[in-house]
Amino acid sequence: MKYNEINSLSFLLDKNHYLYKHTEDEQSIHLYVKSRPHSSICPICGEESKQLHATYDRVLQDTPIHMKQTFLHVKAYKFECPNSNCKCKVFMEDLPFAKPSQVRTDALTSLILGVSMYLSNEGASKVLSLLGVQVSNDTIKRIYDRIEFIDNPDVEAVGIDDVAIRKGHKYATAIYDLKDHHLIALLEGRDGETLKEWLRKHTKIRLVTRDRASAYASAINEILPECIQVADRFHLLQNLLDKLKEIFKAEIPSEIFIENGKVLDKAPKKIWCENDLDEEQFNQLHYDNTTPASLDGTEIFFDNKKRNLDSVQYKAHAESRKKNKN
Ligand SMILES: [Zn+2]
């Protein structure tokens, strides 16, 4: 049988694999993948083999296309190990999109984990089925159970941060390897106690990036006093912004005076404008100063102590206004 590569879809796979057929029905899409002759590494002895032994078929569920369940039908290679001392005679090639013996692609597993992170397993299973992924809640649980954090007692540089396991309720301390940022430990609480215990077993650590919480700082100071502590980028930025705010508060006055586009050093002198008034124009303004009256003509008693023109206080103010004016 001849396999004709669909060149327009070559971007979907790596250079060692190609698509040669696709079919579609009401519920599902099927993509047919073939392995090109290439070399592969023996998983036991690590020697490279170009010796093809046979092909085998694998069917994997992939991320859905247009909400339809999507399958990869893969014709993959088995290789013969060239190392005569190796106990492995025949091995299967590594697929770039799935782990050995998996029935799902890595991309689909990531999608399942991503959706189920915010839902119950049962809820996630239902939502995923609407999206075109068939996965039972038991399988979701199994995928979760397989996640493990592999601690490394020889790690030399780590990042430490607090994370909420249940929004705003239960907190944990996440420790990740600074080399590639993968999680190596998830400790209970964020008060630094569990961190101290963990640090005692990881004495090779020379560098820690952490948040600004003092609990972590004091735990590190206590157990590994020689260790360099770095505020991570996010918290460094936060520190910088806090500092800038302080500076702005101290340096920038509450009022800024600008005249003709220039900032003045101090408040400008107030100018009395009355003399500039056009007398004629002013007299045209009609100002009714009569006592307010109701419709039947009775005067409305208007009591405003603040405007008592005969008060001592008001008279004093009027005097001082006159003085300022001259
Ligand atoms: Zn081998």
39-48 pLDDT, tens digit per residue, is: 999 989 999 9
How many angstroms is it from 88 CA to the middle of ligand 1? Answer: 5
For residue 282, name the pLDDT band (cuts at 50, 70, 90).
confident
For residue 71, name the pLDDT band (cuts at 50, 70, 90).
very high
Q: Given a cut of 80, is residue 302 above it in pLDDT?
A: no
Q: Given a cut of 90, is residue 4 above it in pLDDT?
A: no
How many angstroms is it from 136 CA to the middle of ligand 1? Answer: 37
- Average pLDDT of the residues in 162-177: 81
For residue 314, name the pLDDT band (cuts at 50, 70, 90).
confident
The reported pLDDT for the residue numbered 106 is 93
For residue 322, name the pLDDT band (cuts at 50, 70, 90).
confident
Asked if 60 contacts 105 with a C-beta cutoff of 8 angstroms, the reply is yes
d(CA 280, CA 206): 85
How many angstroms is it from 56 CA to the middle of ligand 1? Answer: 19
Q: How high is the mean pLDDT of the chain?
A: 87
How many angstroms is it from 73 CA to the middle of ligand 1? Answer: 27
How many angstroms is it from 100 CA to the middle of ligand 1? Answer: 16
How many angstroms is it from 65 CA to the middle of ligand 1? Answer: 38
How many angstroms is it from 48 CA to the middle of ligand 1? Answer: 8
d(CA 319, CA 141): 87
How many angstroms is it from 91 CA to the middle of ligand 1? Answer: 8
The reported pLDDT for the residue numbered 136 is 94
Q: Given a cut of 90, is residue 196 above it in pLDDT?
A: yes
Asked if 76 contacts 88 with a C-beta cutoff of 8 angstroms, the reply is no
How many angstroms is it from 43 CA to the middle of ligand 1? Answer: 7
Which of 108-117, 155-164, 192-201, 228-237 has the weakest average pLDDT? 228-237
The reported pLDDT for the residue numbered 276 is 66
Q: Given a cut of 90, is residue 315 above it in pLDDT?
A: no
What percent of the chain stands above pLDDT 90? Answer: 43
Sort 127 into a burial class: Cβ within 10 Å, 0-12 / 13-18 / 19+. middle
How many angstroms is it from 94 CA to the middle of ligand 1? Answer: 14
How many angstroms is it from 57 CA to the middle of ligand 1? Answer: 22
How many angstroms is it from 32 CA to the middle of ligand 1? Answer: 29
The reported pLDDT for the residue numbered 105 is 94
d(CA 157, CA 153): 11
How many angstroms is it from 53 CA to the middle of ligand 1? Answer: 14
How many angstroms is it from 50 CA to the middle of ligand 1? Answer: 12
d(CA 78, CA 147): 28
The reported pLDDT for the residue numbered 246 is 93
Q: Which residues on adjacent β-strands are paired with residue 28?
A: 69
The reported pLDDT for the residue numbered 289 is 77
How many angstroms is it from 38 CA to the middle of ligand 1? Answer: 16
Asked if 207 contacts 156 with a C-beta cutoff of 8 angstroms, the reply is yes
How many angstroms is it from 85 CA to the middle of ligand 1? Answer: 8
The reported pLDDT for the residue numbered 65 is 94
Which of 23-32, 135-144, 216-225, 226-235 has the weakest average pLDDT? 226-235
How many angstroms is it from 60 CA to the middle of ligand 1? Answer: 26
**pTM of the full structure:** 0.56
The reported pLDDT for the residue numbered 275 is 63
The reported pLDDT for the residue numbered 326 is 67
d(CA 230, CA 54): 54
Q: Given a cut of 80, is residue 126 above it in pLDDT?
A: yes
164 vs 33, more confident: 33
Query: Could you read off the pLDDT of 237-272 as tens digits, one per residue?
Result: 888 899 999 998 888 888 888 888 888 888 888 877
Asked if 186 contacts 173 with a C-beta cutoff of 8 angstroms, the reply is yes
Buried b (16+ CB within 10 A) or exposed e, 29-51: bbbbbbbeeeebebeeeeeebee
The reported pLDDT for the residue numbered 168 is 62
The reported pLDDT for the residue numbered 155 is 92
